Structure 1
Amino acid sequence: MSTNQIGKPTNRVDGRAKVTGEAKYAAEFHVPDLAHGVVVNSAIAKGKIKKIDTSKAMAVEGVFKVITHENRKDYACYDKDFKDMDAPPGSPFRPLYNGNILFNMQPVALVVAETLELARYAATLVEVAYEEEAHETDFEANRGEAYVPEKYNSTTPPKPWGNPEEALAKADVKVEVEYAHPTEHHNPMEMHATVAVWEENGKLTVYDKIQGVENTLQYITSSFGLPKEKVHVLSPFVGGAFGSGLRPQYQSFLAVLAALELKRPVRVMLTRPQMFSFGHRPRTTQRFALGASKDGKLEALIQDVFAETSTFEDYSEDVVIWPGLLYKCDNMKFSHKLVALDEYTPLDMRAPGGTTGIFALESAVDELAYKLGMDPLVFRLKNYTDKDQNNDLPFSSKELRACYIQGAEKFGWEQRSKEPRSMRNGHQLVGWGVAHGAWEAQQAKASAKAVLTTDGKLTISSATADIGTGTYTVMTQIAAETLGLPLEDVTFKLGDTSLPFAPLEGGSKTVSTVGSAVKKVCEKIGEKLLRLAQQQANSPLKDAELKDVTFTDGRLHLKSDTAKAVSFKEIMQLGQREQLEEEVSSKPSEEQKKFARFAHSVAFVEVKVDEDLGAIQVSRIVTAIAGGRIINPKTAKSQIMGAAVWGIGVALEEESVMDNNYGRFMNHDLEKYHVPVNADVHDIDVIFVEEQDTIVNALGAKGLGEIGIVSIAPAIVNAVFHATGKRIRHLPIKLDKLL
């Protein structure tokens, strides 16, 4: 049996559990005497609660309590600032803190009852009288009040270089444009839910929908003043999150609050409309001024960004870092200002800042290429950069040129007709577009534990998450290959605060971060096996060093002579060891600081546009990815295809529409908030370009969750222009914008 697992297309090890219903998500954990909580949300966007009458709700038989700001107990978070691991600068929202209303749909009460149906009914009986104040949710009307935050929670905008204004004035060809990206909501399939189980010994077990159990642990212990040893958080499966689960949401706080006050287990699950009451991709407007010489050399680039945030936290994203990473230019300048509105704080959403910033950058660059009369692909290659100009660093690896070459060949880009509206298929206008993108290849500190037992079974554990990306599977593959075991002999455990520490699963860094710890701890087990084998009489490995041996099919043998081998079982039985155990931590190397570490992508897109109706079909996508070493091509392809589908949604469908009269999102369900469906998705080809990187981490893997989305929307926008001759600068592209 071969035990080469890395790079092998592998089915999900948790796949059977998911399709049979064995896998349990946060709301599916049932315990005796479980009570059900339903949240009552505010009907105004700003003001104060004058009176809240819970008497009718409390009169319903089976209702245990209605918790409001007037009757809740005091906890630590009400007296001092508290932070979760993903909080931006400012003061985090405190549920039921007081009677002040900060945003529409703010939770104002929690009804706890014997059944979910009773709680839902009783929640409709809670009467709230408000003293309403004028609110501000109109982004455009408040852009004049935009400000530079004292501290950015993402990267501070790069310092300018050269003389952009002078270079722009002297440029032969100029483009000055404004692009806008709407507010979007995550809408994962699994709604946010928490089951908080109070136990007689004062301990608390919490099942939470979260992208990292350590964050829920920190949030709960700091909010309620509880010692960490008294709280146990579990999240074994997450039904999609896309960033919405990075921060514990208010249902987590309210479930724990009710469990502590009632001294019984409580479940709180949000509804789909309530999923629109917290966190979203922020609406963003970007002004670009670009200048180039007649021969297509980029001479100047100025980018000014305006993005929404809440009135109580300064949320920002890496919107302005991309020009200096993707284009060589001697004169660049950036600004990023925030517009504070009476709404909940925005939240990271797949490729935060990248999806937004690269959409506008790549669209504006396309405009410049057309104005120059250059092939957009040729223009990008002419202005290719070999270093990160933001920080004056070389790339640890960059196979973007190979992405262009392989993607263009697969797509057939050389057959493109130059002029807009020049390609047809019957009554449909055909357009081809291209865009490229990048996403940072991060690594953070993480720990992992390994236990190898005498039956040859290996258990690896780390308190990371699997948000549907395949973490269970790739960690199993890494461990199996490192110790030369078949997949079926390896078990990976995650989503539990009793396991070794791991950071949030986000930013496409989990394989790099946790995978490095898994590889390292397995190597430590390997060292122990060799030392144990060498202690035995007449050992065939007596004088071997670690570099002289290899692990294959549960055996340890010499590389030079595979006959000189001994199985793990024999080693442990002869050494009278029931198990070998090791726990390690891994962290980024100092060498990483000397390099810019990014994955890169290129998307080629074909659209067909009905000339009479303006209906757009994305008929073909070819996306080429340089993402370092690919651990599992099967789940990796799934990641990129899912990101490409989302890119279709970004370009053509997704938009959270704010009713500024009420300060509430109007289309707060999946009937009116449109996402791509099967009929919207046609041919998607994924190319993984070979890329070796010894700097990013021990595995050479860069992460794929975000890089797959960033170049799709601008490629669609550019293809629509090529098809129709109309440049749509405000997403999404809807029929009325084309007609």
Structure 2
Amino acid sequence: MSKAQIGQPISRLEGHLKVTGSAKYSGEFNLEGLLYGYVVNSTIVRGKILSIDSASVKKIPGVIDVFTHENRPSLAWFDMQYSDMDAPPGSPFRPLYDNEIKYYAQPVALVVAETFETARYAASLLKIDYEAEEFDSDLKKNTARARDPKVGLATMLKPLPPKPKGDFENAYGEADAQVSSAYWHGTEHHNPMEMHATTTFYEKGGKLTIFDKTQGTINSQLYACNVFGLSFSDVRVIAPYIGGAFGSGLRPQYQLFMSVMAAIELKRSVRVTLDREQMYSFGHRPPTLQRVRLGATKDGKVTALNHAAIAETSQFEDYTEVVVNWSHILYPVENTLLEYQLVPLDVYSPLDMRAPGGSTGLPAIESAMDEMAYKLGIDPLELRLINYSERDMAEDKPFSSKELRECYKQGAEKFGWAERKPEPRSMKRGTKLVGYGMATGIWDAMTVPSRAEAMLDKDGKLRVNSATSDIGTGTLTVMTQIAADEFGLSVDDVTFEYGDSDMAFAPIEGGSFTVSSVGSAVVKACKSLREKLLKRASRMENFSLSDQGMSQVRFEKDRIVLSESPLVAVSYFDLIADNNGKAIKADTTSVPNPLRLKKYTRAAHSAAFVEVEVDEQLGVINVTRALTAVAGGKIINPKTAKSQIVGAMIWGISKALREETISDHRFGKYMNPNLAEYHLPVHADIHELDAIFVEEHDDIVNPLGAKGLGEIGIVGMAPAIANAIYHATGKRINHLPIHFDDLL
């Protein structure tokens, strides 16, 4: 019997394919006669299209057709409010619906040609006349128009703030110490390495095989079928490899619409790929204004908490994030006032981006807590321990598990927090000011319904499948490990198949719930298959397993063995032979028990510790080392888990010091839609990073006891860096990113 695979630091099973270039992505599948589409985007923010001169472009050799709102097909979708699993309340954007322009760079036409170069060239010549109207894209100037979000299905996963508790204003006024600070971060865009692309193969009879960059193959299938009125049996969506997504692939993006539309109308296979600038024409992390007010006693007990946020949304959907709710879950304050509002503007709907809401709200509350610590003369770590929440006071629930105290302890010890001198500007290294900062992280530990199929194939090998995606997080590897342990195998003896809408149902891959959700389905499917195999073995002649239950047998490499008498066994080959040479399958759905789960608050926790150096004369900031201690339940694969946390930490550095999409509200457009001017950290910016996992047992969250790790690593990094900068310089900077000129 193979040793347990769960807990082993196994390298990614598809890693070799990726680094050698053998892995094929959605824009790399070819077919003879494949056509290429290039999207044309609007050059105004708001108004109407008066005319489009398609005729002259169609005369260009190699151009097949030009699609606009004037000649698009009649579509079933335009009577639907919701078209995908991740749609917020409102009415989804409809490409090529009519002549109305709702935001800058809205897709207004698709040029289809025999080559990509021809399509791109022809698109550059397409003449469009507009009638521009007044617009407004500036959040800061429109806070007076802020309103409460509309409630919809999305609020089940993104709950609105809880009602006030106690009397905040009175408690704040009577507090011994007060902090009142405003916070801001601007727009951010996802910028995955692989840009969005869809290749639609048109097959005889109108069947479609769609290779799409998506975090949910079934979600893209749902979208395509609902939009074009197609049968689900005629549409298959495949996403074998994804070059990063981070939320940009949760909702179907407009290149999917364009590719499928053109393929159906032309009865040809069509690829549509977006360029880097077009990646800025859909979805973003929304700019958000926040204010945090804290009141505390002299000994550090926080008695009053007000966390308010105002974020932007589009004119057609109410995109929401959980920004302010985390404050009260982390800190057991008796008097709270949590507020969250939206301002509709002439922009595209924002979109989930790694730790949506958490990476926005935690920098505000954790910076405010740091400010309170300095005001009271209490160590920032000690202040958090004074206000440690043993129970979720926001909803009066126990935690399913919470080892945050150990994160503080083990993280501080390994980082060397005790070496910190309390006074700002008290630590130097040559000409550099040195600062230590820390912050707390929290993220939901969710589990959602998922399905998986396990089979013993006709060759006696274990195969497991799910339609889930792998956005580069290691899903393929950990699912293989989970399945292997259910049958006492090594990962080499298991095949896990994924990324195909024809496979067992899976939700979109986001929210850090894939391992807990799909992993639980894999466990359940494998258990069901084991029961099926044992039942069949008990009916077979010449084998003495008829009276044995599951607890009395072992599943080994190629057989079922009686634990007390290993010579008594049934080979998988014999089981398949008994089934007339056919595979034996079991598919099951894993549905979390809502009655049990609603009694608990389920969350992963972290503690981030950061050291910065700031050049005293130039203000240049360098994160010299950082450590994140994580309580994430059972760790399925320490290697891929650490990779997730360190990757998130790097993004946290980017958020704190580099990353922002700059808007010019005179023109209602983004001014740096490229990787030259949208600043990201490079190798020279990243130094000593480490992640540790504290032991945490949780038999409530899901059968695996695992919590998601994709987001918990980013939420605490930006505030820890901001706090370290204050310790180094004595300057409190409450907007992100922090630039060197803020410190001059």
Deviations 1:464-518 (A, max 9, x none): 1000011111111111110112212211111111111111000000011111111
**1:613 pairs with 2:625:** no
Deviations 1:650-681 (A, max 9, x none): 10001011111111100100000011110111
User: 314, 317, 321: which one pairs with 1:310?
Assistant: 314
Deviation at 1:389, TM superposition (A): 2.0
Counterpart AA for 1:46: R
Aligned to 2:456: 452
**In 2, distance between residues paired with 1:328 and 1:441?**
20
Aligned to 1:276: 280
How well do the aligned residues superpose, as a CA RMSD in angstroms?
A: 1.4
Deviation at 1:30, TM superposition (A): 0.7
User: 648, 661, 676: which one pairs with 1:643?
Assistant: 648
Kindly indicate whether the alpha-carbon contact (under 8 Å) linking 2:77 and 2:83 is maintained by their aligned counterparts in 1.
no
User: 208, 216, 220: which one pairs with 2:220?
Assistant: 216
**In 2, distance between residues paired with 1:327 and 1:248?**
37
**1:88 pairs with 2:88:** yes
Distance 1:563 1:245, change over 3 A: same
Counterpart AA for 1:714: P
Fraction of identical pairs, as percent: 56
Counterpart AA for 1:2: S
Q: The residue matched to 2:165 in structure 1 has which SS?
A: coil
Counterpart AA for 1:407: G
User: 314, 323, 331: which one pairs with 2:335?
Assistant: 331
Aligned to 1:706: 711
Aligned to 1:543: 547
Q: The residue matched to 1:643 in structure 2 has which SS?
A: helix
Aligned to 2:7: 7
Structure 2 gaps, min length 5: none
Q: The residue matched to 1:393 in structure 2 has which SS?
A: coil
**1:290 pairs with 2:294:** yes
Aligned to 2:383: 379
1:411-430 map, 5 Å? 411-430=415-434
Distance 1:74 1:536, change over 3 A: closer
Deviation at 1:539, TM superposition (A): 3.4
**In 1, distance between residues paired with 2:656 and 2:710?**
18
**In 1, distance between residues paired with 2:736 and 2:38?**
35
Aligned to 1:664: 669
Distance 1:38 1:689, change over 3 A: same
Deviates more, 1:147-156 or 1:555-564: 555-564
**In 1, distance between residues paired with 2:145 and 2:578?**
75
1:681-700 map, 5 Å? 681-700=686-705
**1:44 pairs with 2:49:** no
Deviation at 1:390, TM superposition (A): 2.2
Deviates more, 1:725-734 or 1:389-398: 389-398
Deviations 1:368-399 (A, max 9, x none): 11111100000000100012222211000000
Deviates more, 1:186-195 or 1:80-89: 80-89
Deviation at 1:570, TM superposition (A): 4.4
Aligned to 1:370: 374
Kindly indicate whether the alpha-carbon contact (under 8 Å) linking 1:454 and 1:568 is maintained by their aligned counterparts in 2.
no
Deviation at 1:262, TM superposition (A): 1.1
**In 1, distance between residues paired with 2:701 and 2:376?**
38
Distance 1:366 1:56, change over 3 A: same
Kindly indicate whether the alpha-carbon contact (under 8 Å) linking 1:68 and 1:108 is maintained by their aligned counterparts in 2.
yes
Aligned to 2:121: 121
Structure 1 gaps, min length 5: none
Kindly indicate whether the alpha-carbon contact (under 8 Å) linking 1:301 and 1:331 is maintained by their aligned counterparts in 2.
yes
Q: The residue matched to 1:527 in structure 2 has which SS?
A: helix
Counterpart AA for 1:132: A
Deviation at 1:580, TM superposition (A): 1.6
Deviations 1:263-285 (A, max 9, x none): 11111000000000110000011
Q: The residue matched to 1:365 in structure 2 has which SS?
A: helix
Distance 1:140 1:486, change over 3 A: same
**1:505 pairs with 2:506:** no
| Alignment coverage as a number of residue pairs | 739
**In 2, distance between residues paired with 1:414 and 1:330?**
31
**In 2, distance between residues paired with 1:176 and 1:329?**
16
Aligned to 1:464: 468
**In 2, distance between residues paired with 1:231 and 1:731?**
43
Counterpart AA for 2:442: A
Deviations 1:18-51 (A, max 9, x none): 2232221110111121110001111011111112
Q: The residue matched to 2:182 in structure 1 has which SS?
A: strand
Counterpart AA for 1:510: T
1:524-673 map, 5 Å? 524-537=528-541, 539-560=543-564, 562=566, 564-573=568-577, 578-589=582-593, 590-673=595-678
Q: The residue matched to 2:73 in structure 1 has which SS?
A: coil
Distance 1:292 1:231, change over 3 A: same
Deviations 1:444-475 (A, max 9, x none): 11111111135331111111100001111111
**1:160 pairs with 2:164:** yes
Q: The residue matched to 2:735 in structure 1 has which SS?
A: coil
Counterpart AA for 1:234: I
**In 1, distance between residues paired with 2:234 and 2:81?**
21
Kindly indicate whether the alpha-carbon contact (under 8 Å) linking 1:54 and 1:125 is maintained by their aligned counterparts in 2.
no
Aligned to 1:719: 724
Deviations 1:594-638 (A, max 9, x none): 111101110000001111111111011111010000111111111
**In 2, distance between residues paired with 1:572 and 1:252?**
42
Kindly indicate whether the alpha-carbon contact (under 8 Å) linking 2:484 and 2:494 is maintained by their aligned counterparts in 1.
yes
